[in-house]
Amino acid sequence: MPIDFEAPKPITQAQFMLKTVGEEMIRPKSRYYDEHEHEIPWDYIEFMHSAMRAMGGSSLAPRENGNGNDKEKRPPLGYQLIATQIESLAWGDLGFYHCLPGGGLGAAAVFAAGTQEQKAKFLARFNEDKPTFAAMCITEAGAGSDNSAIRTRAVLDEKTNEWVLNGEKIFVTGGDKSFTEYEKLGKGFIVVWATIDPMAGRAGMRAFVVEGGTSGVRVVKLEYKLGIRCSDTAAISLVDARVPFDNILGSPTVENTTTGFKGAMATFDATRPLVAASGVGVARAALEFLKEKLAENGVQIRYGLPPQKLTSIERDVIDMEIMLKSTWLMVIKATWMADNKKPNALEASMSKVKSGDVVTKITQKVVEILGPLGYSREFLAEKWFRDAKITDIYEGTGQINRLVVARQILGYSGKELR
Ligand SMILES: Cc1cc2nc3c(=O)[nH]c(=O)nc-3n(C[C@H](O)[C@H](O)[C@H](O)COP(=O)(O)OP(=O)(O)OC[C@H]3O[C@@H](n4cnc5c(N)ncnc54)[C@H](O)[C@@H]3O)c2cc1C
């Protein structure tokens, strides 16, 4: 079968629409929300909710049958389309991307680890009238990279047939919008990872869907951050929080397996390439801005000349373009594998590692080449430099994803190589 590098229509349409959103709606507000952390861009949220619904779905979790057009006889485009949407939105502003209504990581966890009934029950809300959010809470103080060390406890109350959750989660992206009841938002949920048996290690890990407003659960803090300030990052405490028995994702008993932990990993296999896509968007924004400023100053990149005839800036720009394009190809490969239900742990982590490196390098280089223009808050280059770093931190740091890559290539288990 020939390899087709033409982007299919749903992807080019999404790119076209979101480019306009990025230029007209996001960029003009980007600096404002960077400087007014914890304010919520309601106009954008409401507009995007309507626009995404008009395009056929506001959840970023792909539908079971994919988003492809069956007549085209292509494989479903679910994750490839989402990656494109995320890249385009992050080009506008990475923090704004995180304010896109829809299921986010919370829905991705339901999608990866839930039953058909749970998917139907929890994912339908993202297409309803009000914009709705969901988040995933796995990280705890002392349990970030090694998330099997989580201490949040879930105990079954057999009298009421409810799970009782106790613990504290930190750095939850979108935690506030997913849990706190705002008049303008639909009822969201958070997916809380807890242990049903602290002695069982990874085998005891399970995820629970905790509905917004559940009694005993509180957003106790919103972080002040280096970048992506438009995105809320919450600490959430759970004190005797009761959730229905059926809200557990996965088996309610501890077998001698690690299915619970595998649910978390399956979520990340789906979402790490999406984080990588967001890094590509930020890097592209910075690189395009640099090229614009260079062009305004009469510097054109003379593609096709031998390297020794190029200026050092031309070589830098070409190097950055190569890095960017190769990263995007890795994203497309990892998402194509997810869409085609092929195991993609290796490719997902590789794309995430590469994107974390590339976006950090490109935004730094752009600030460097632009000199005072790069450092000034008059322009967004310094902001993209600050926003970029998160790509290398959340959903597994660069180091942790390198470990995943090494384990996959060398055939080691988590215990053998850590
Ligand atoms: C803005 C933001 C949003 C986030 N959103 C979410 C979210 O929505 N949900 C959620 O659950 N979490 C979220 N996180 C948490 C994030 O996933 C963790 O911060 C990350 O996994 C690292 O964990 P840690 O902070 O505990 O660092 P640590 O695990 O303490 O690591 C500290 C450093 O040590 C390195 N390190 C650790 N172990 C190893 C090893 N074995 N080998 C080599 N190096 C190692 C790490 O790479 C890192 O550089 C978010 C974080 C931030 C900053």
Residue 134 near ligand 1, beta carbon < 6 Å: no
| Mean pLDDT across 69-85 | 72
Quote the pLDDT of residue 254. Answer: 73
The β-bridge relationship of strands 153-157 and 205-211 is unpaired
Burial class (CB in 10 A: 0-12, 13-18, 19+), 95: buried
| Mean pLDDT across 18-29 | 96
Give the pTM.
0.93
Q: Is the pLDDT of residue 348 over 50?
A: yes
Q: Is the pLDDT of residue 67 over 50?
A: no
Residue 395 Cα to ligand 1 middle (Å): 7
260 or 81: which leads in pLDDT: 81
Structure tokens at 39: 């304010």
pLDDT band at 10 (very low <50, low <70, confident <90, very high): confident
| Mean pLDDT across 356-385 | 97
Q: Is the pLDDT of residue 114 over 80?
A: yes
Q: Is the pLDDT of residue 66 over 50?
A: no
Please work out, in degrees rounded to the nearest 5, the angle formed at the alpha carbon of residue 404 by the alpha carbons of 407 and 98: 170
- For residue 55, the tally of other CB atoms under 10 A from its CB is 16
To the nearest whole number, what is the mean pLDDT of the chain? Answer: 91
Q: Is the pLDDT of residue 329 over 70?
A: yes
Quote the pLDDT of residue 65. Answer: 45
Residue 397 Cα to ligand 1 middle (Å): 6
Query: Helices H, strands E: what count in the chain?
Result: 14, 8
Quote the pLDDT of residue 256. Answer: 53
Q: What CA–CA distances, in Å, run from 319 to 153, 241, 326, 356?
A: 49, 52, 11, 16
The β-bridge relationship of strands 134-137 and 153-157 is unpaired
Q: Identify the three-state secondary structure at position 4.
A: coil
Structure tokens at 389: 């770093």
Q: Is the pLDDT of residue 261 over 80?
A: no
Residue 148 near ligand 1, beta carbon < 6 Å: no
Residue 346 near ligand 1, beta carbon < 6 Å: no
Residue 344 Cα to ligand 1 middle (Å): 21
pLDDT per residue as tens digits for the range 298-327: 999 999 999 999 999 999 999 999 999 999
DSSP letter (8 states) at residue 305: S
pLDDT band at 253 (very low <50, low <70, confident <90, very high): confident
Residue 389 Cα to ligand 1 middle (Å): 12
Per-residue exposure over 141-174, b if at least 16 CB sit within 10 Å of its own CB, e if not: eebbeebbebebbbeeeeeeebbbbbbbbbbbbb
253 or 214: which leads in pLDDT: 214
Q: Is the pLDDT of residue 290 over 60?
A: yes
Residue 390 near ligand 1, beta carbon < 6 Å: yes
**Does the CA dihedral 78-258-171-106 come out positive or negative?**
positive
The β-bridge relationship of strands 134-137 and 189-195 is parallel
Q: Is the pLDDT of residue 69 over 50?
A: no
Residue 145 near ligand 1, beta carbon < 6 Å: yes
- For residue 66, the tally of other CB atoms under 10 A from its CB is 18
- For the CA atoms of 300, 301, 307, 309, what is the dihedral angle to 10 degrees? -10
**Does the CA dihedral 343-347-351-352 come out positive or negative?**
positive
In angstroms, the CA 23 to CA 288 distance is 13
Report the catalytic residues. 395
- Measuring from atom 44 of ligand 1, which residue has the nearest CA? 399
Residue 367 near ligand 1, beta carbon < 6 Å: no
Residue 136 near ligand 1, beta carbon < 6 Å: yes
Structure tokens at 131: 């914009």
Residue 397 near ligand 1, beta carbon < 6 Å: yes
In angstroms, the CA 291 to CA 296 distance is 9
Q: Which atom of ligand 1 is nearest to the CA of 143?
A: 26
In angstroms, the CA 380 to CA 323 distance is 21
Share of the chain above pLDDT 90, in %: 78
pLDDT per residue as tens digits for the range 174-202: 999 999 999 999 999 999 999 999 998 88
Quote the pLDDT of residue 321. Answer: 98
Q: Which atom of ligand 1 is nearest to the CA of 139?
A: 11
Quote the pLDDT of residue 319. Answer: 97
* Amino acid residing at 324: L
Q: Which of 136, 139, 278, 391 to mutate to test the pocket of ligand 1 (most atoms within 8 A of CB)?
A: 139
In angstroms, the CA 169 to CA 238 distance is 8
Least confident stretch, 59-68, 119-128, 129-138, 218-227: 59-68
Q: Which atom of ligand 1 is nearest to the CA of 141?
A: 26
- Helix ranges (H only) for 206-297 are 259-296
Compute the residue count for the chain: 418
**Does the CA dihedral 118-235-38-18 come out positive or negative?**
negative
Quote the pLDDT of residue 72. Answer: 46
Q: Is the pLDDT of residue 74 over 70?
A: no
